[in-house]
């Protein structure tokens, strides 16, 4: 699984973000440890996979533990597949600091690995025979989590559909509502290309008729919103691709590990999904012991 093993190279949470996690949880330390008077005791903490998963969040966990003065002795790579029972992270430090970092690190890794793992499941489902269809995640991540959510997507072998509203052109019906003729996709695409010719023009359509209009308008990407695989197949069969394989067909709306393969078989070029953002967290066991 080398193709997604170095996502840690690409997305970097700032130190400020790491410290936000402290602020959420441990602003005044672990009261229990302090009240017990055990803070100075040296200890060891290990994180182990309780189920097979694609790991994400271990770099950040390592960084946050280090900032607490904990010595991290092992970190599995973001994007690696971790089998049930395998070690993800190990660290040594004072009881005070181990307790302060424990749950923040655990919750972050469980959540991020949940996204990475489901993304990977969709990626696997999208590999039908020799065909490998890119899996692209939307900008509908849970509020405040955009950066780490997208890192987890990439860790799972996916890519980013849109970073936000400012980096891509996606023509919605809600845009066309403000045009003189809201059904004139051709004119809309022309205007978009005239103003921002470098960027790909993506058009979201919710009917086959609109898909044909988008194709005619020389859209770069036609995003079929909530189409059945059969309808996708009809479009794919009839569409006339240009020499550079444009227009690209993208499918979106309710696609996950279970039905991704159906769309691949129907001939889509890419899968667009928000499902991983709400994936179940992966289960990670933490053990803390006295040294």
Is 175 or 265 the residue whose CB approaches a copy of itself more closely? 175
- Cross-strand pairs, 9: none
Interactions with a copy of itself, residue window 94-133 (CB under 8 A): 94-97, 99-100, 102-104, 107-108, 111-112, 132
186 lines the binding site for a copy of itself (CB under 8 A):
no
92: CB partners within 8 A, 6+ apart:
42, 43, 44, 45, 70, 71, 73, 291
- 46 contributes a contact to a copy of itself by CB under 8 A: no
Radius of gyration for the chain, computed over Cα atoms and rounded to the nearest angstrom: 23
Q: Which of 83, 129, 130, 165 binds a copy of itself (CB under 8 A)?
A: 165
Subset of 3-32 contacting a copy of itself (CB under 8 A): 3, 6-7, 9-12, 14-17, 19-32
* Span from 117-125, 136-144, 231-239, 255-263 in contact with a copy of itself (CB under 8 A): 136-144
**Contact 271/133 with Cβ under 8 angstroms?**
yes
Query: How far apart are CB 265 and a copy of itself at their closest, in Å?
Result: 18
Of 87, 163, 226, 238, the residue at the interface with a copy of itself (CB under 8 A) is 163
- Map the footprint of a copy of itself across residues 70-99, applying CB under 8 A: 94-97, 99
With residue 75 as reference, give the H or E element that holds it.
strand 71-75
Using the minimum distance from each CB to a copy of itself, give the nearer residue, 215 or 230: 215
Q: How many C-beta neighbours within 10 Å does residue 99 have?
A: 23
Q: Is 170 in the site for a copy of itself (CB under 8 A)?
A: yes
Chain positions 239 to 278 lying near a copy of itself, rule: CB under 8 A, are 242-246, 248, 250, 269-270, 278
What's the angle, vertex CA 225, arms to CA 152 and CA 129, rounded to 5?
60
The bridge status of strand 81-82 relative to strand 53-54 is: antiparallel
E strand map for 124-262: 127-128, 131-132, 135-137, 159-160, 169-171, 201-205, 221-225, 248-252
Identify whether the C-beta of residue 150 lies closer than 8 Å to the C-beta of residue 50. Answer: no
Interface stretch with a copy of itself, choices 48-56, 122-130, 155-163, 231-239 (CB under 8 A): 155-163
Nearer to a copy of itself, 150 or 232 (CB): 150
**Which of these segments, 122-130, 139-147, 205-213, 231-239, binds a copy of itself (CB under 8 A)?**
139-147
User: 261 CB contacts (<8 Å, ≥6 apart)?
Assistant: 125, 126, 128
Interface positions, 205-224, toward a copy of itself (CB under 8 A)? 218, 220-221
Which helix (DSSP H) or strand (DSSP E) does residue 107 occupy? Answer: helix 95-125
Query: How far apart are CB 49 and a copy of itself at their closest, in Å?
Result: 18
- Nearer of residues 43 and 156 to a copy of itself, judged by Cβ: 43
CB of 84 to a copy of itself, least distance (A): 19
Based on CB atoms, which residue is closest to a copy of itself, 49 or 123? 123
Burial category of 237 from C-beta neighbours within 10 Å (exposed 0-12, middle 13-18, buried 19 and up): exposed
145 binds a copy of itself (CB under 8 A): yes
Minimum Å gap between C-beta 263 and a copy of itself is: 15
- Tokens linked to 264: 């691949």
């Amino acid at each position: 699984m080398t193709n997604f093993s170095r996502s840690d190279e690409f997305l970097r949470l700032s130190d400020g973000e790491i410290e936000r996690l402290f602020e959420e949880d441990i602003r005044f330390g672990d009261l229990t440890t302090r009240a017990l008077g055990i803070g100075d005791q040296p200890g060891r903490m290990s994180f182990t996979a309780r189920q097979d998963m694609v790991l994400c969040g271990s770099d950040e966990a390592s960084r946050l533990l280090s900032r607490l003065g904990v010595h991290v002795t092992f970190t599995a790579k973001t994007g690696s597949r971790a089998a049930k029972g395998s070690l993800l992270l190990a660290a040594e430090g004072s009881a005070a600091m181990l307790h302060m970092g424990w749950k923040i690190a655990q919750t972050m890794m469980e959540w991020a690995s949940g996204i990475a793992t489901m993304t990977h499941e969709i990626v696997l489902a999208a590999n039908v025979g020799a065909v490998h269809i890119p899996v692209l995640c939307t900008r509908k991540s849970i509020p405040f989590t955009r950066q780490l959510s997208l890192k987890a997507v990439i860790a799972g072998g996916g890519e980013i559909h849109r970073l936000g509203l400012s980096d891509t052109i996606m023509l919605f019906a809600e845009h066309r509502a403000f045009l003189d003729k809201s059904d004139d996709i051709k004119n809309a695409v022309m205007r978009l290309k005239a103003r921002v010719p470098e960027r790909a023009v993506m058009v979201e359509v919710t009917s086959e008729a609109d898909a044909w209009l988008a194709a005619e308008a020389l859209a770069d990407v036609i995003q079929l919103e909530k189409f059945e695989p059969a309808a996708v197949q009809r479009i794919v069969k009839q569409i006339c691709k240009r020499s550079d394989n444009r227009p690209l067909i993208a499918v979106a709306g309710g696609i996950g590990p279970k039905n991704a393969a159906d769309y691949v078989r129907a001939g889509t070029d890419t899968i667009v999904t928000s499902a991983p953002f709400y994936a179940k967290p992966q289960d990670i066991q933490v053990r803390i012991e006295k040294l």
